[in-house]
Amino acid sequence: MKQTIGFSQFCDGFRGDRQGQFSYEAKRVLFDWYEELETSCAEEIEFDPVGICCEWCEYDSIKEALENYGDDYTAENLSDFTTVLECEKSVLVMNF
């Protein structure tokens, strides 16, 4: 059984230990990304806040993200290896 959720319910799913995982803006970007993914795949996606927290990291900048991934990656090629979502004040990187 699946339930359609809106952005408010999406944000509510990040409670307790997960509350500070993503900024409000990053949650909006993720919500929009998952909605677009659902539309493009024509398949419902189950909302799993724990899975999302394990799958994504928010960094203050692309430079900070690159420090985590090492010298093999650059700002120009990181998106060749994973999904990178730009936010106004941060960047989201799908862990790989």
Higher pLDDT, 96 or 54: 54
Q: Is the pLDDT of residue 1 over 70?
A: no
Strand partners, 56: 94
Alpha helices in 20-95 (DSSP H): 24-41, 49-55, 62-69, 78-81
CA 38 to chain CA mean position, Å = 15
CA 77 to chain CA mean position, Å = 18
**pTM (two decimals):** 0.89
Tell me: the pLDDT tens digits for 24-72?
Answer: 999 999 999 999 999 999 998 999 999 999 999 999 999 999 999 888 8
